[in-house]
Each structure stands twice: as structure tokens, then as C-alpha cells.
Structure 1
């Protein structure tokens, strides 16, 4: 992924992770793996863990510690009502931006 794509991704990564969590709970490594499967291969695990800390502190997710066969319990994140509201706003903003960008690309005012 090029520098421009990486910078753009930073701006929407939170929304992407929240969208993923809206369909099912997941833990950090699982989220990173899913993102890589989707082609976001340059995302470092540390980036995802820092993002998870932020969305947890902002009360956008619920966290459950689940025992792990290998090592300490895993923190499993699931989207809560406040997170769903935030995600809905993200999608509204995304729709607005993509419509305007498409108009610019097509040369419309």
C-alpha cells in the first residue's frame, strides 16, 4: 500500500474496525488478521491495539475477558449502543464525502 493510501486509511480505520465489530465480537489479533485478509497488509498490530484502547476509553465497545488456551485471557470487543450510534454517524459522513468526491471526479458542481 502506498503512502497516500496509508494516510487515507488512518482516517477511516476506526470506522472500519467498528463496522467489523458490528457484525460480531472479536479480539485484537483476530481484527488484525481480518484486516490483512481484506488487503490491508501494512497495518501493524500495534496500530490496532492502540485503536482498541481508544475506542474502549470512549465507551464505544464492551470488553469481555475470555480465557485463552495460550497465555493470559483475551479481551473480546463488541460494539455497544453508543458505538453503534458512532458507527451510524461514520456511515452518514462517509456517504456525504463519497458523494462529493464522486461529483468532483466527474467534474460536477
Structure 2
């Protein structure tokens, strides 16, 4: 199975979930994704997603000094992003519950 196609559909929701819990930056998001088993997500995958989310207006960013080196982009969720995230959770839960029902059905 080509996991990348399935992953594309849910990665944005996972990233938004991480950002919704508090201001963060790209590398920290990667660490959290890795911690939860998304081992094949790299900067080349994450930063285009963050850029797309910023263009949609669901996150915003500010560039500030980092305590450990060069400047960083810090991301926060916007009011529009909070609504988008709530909608994502509803749709995701609906789709996954239907999928579990079909996968686990004894008789179709």
C-alpha cells in the first residue's frame, strides 16, 4: 500500500493539532511527529504544508530570535484555524469510524 497518499490527507490535521496546543516552530513539530511514529516526515515535507496553511489563513507566523542560534519562524493557530481544526476533527472521526465499521464487519 502506498502510505504517502493516505498520509497527505491527514498530515495537515496533525500539524494543526500540534500548533493548536501552543506556539511552536518547525523543528519542534517534526520532533513531535517523530515521537508519535511519523518517522518519514522531513523538513521538505513539513515546510510546504506550513506555507500552505499560512496562505489559507489557518496559522500565522512570526520570525524571532532563537535562544540557540539563528532566527526561527514561530507558528500559532488563528481563529479561522480553530474552526478549520474543529471541522477537520469532525470529518476525520466520521470517516475513520465508518472505515473501522467496514474493516471489522463480519458480514457486509
Query: Fold-level match, TM-score > 0.5?
Result: yes
2:19 to 2, 11, 21: 21
Deviation at 1:34, TM superposition (A): 1.1
Partner of 2:37: 39
1:96 and 1:75 map into 2 onto residues whose CA distance is: 33
Q: CA deviation at 1:7?
A: 2.6
Unaligned runs of 5+ in 2: none
Instruction: Output the CA distance in 2 between the equivalents of 1:83 and 1:32.
Output: 20
Question: What is the aligned-residue RMSD (CA, Å)?
Answer: 1.5
Greater strand content: 2
Per-residue deviation at 1:4? 3.1
Residues 43-97 of structure 1: per-residue CA shift (max 9 Å, x gap)? 12111011010001111012121112412x2110011110011001100101110
- Runs of 4+ aligned residues of structure 1 deviating over 6 Å after TM superposition are none
Structure-1 residue corresponding to 2:88: 90
Q: TM-score, normalised by structure 1?
A: 0.88
Structure 1: tracts of 5 or more residues without a match = none
2:75 aligned partner: 77
Give TM-score, length-normalised by structure 2.
0.89
In 2, distance between residues paired with 1:41 and 1:103? 28
How far residue 40 of structure 1 moved from its aligned partner, in angstroms, is 0.7
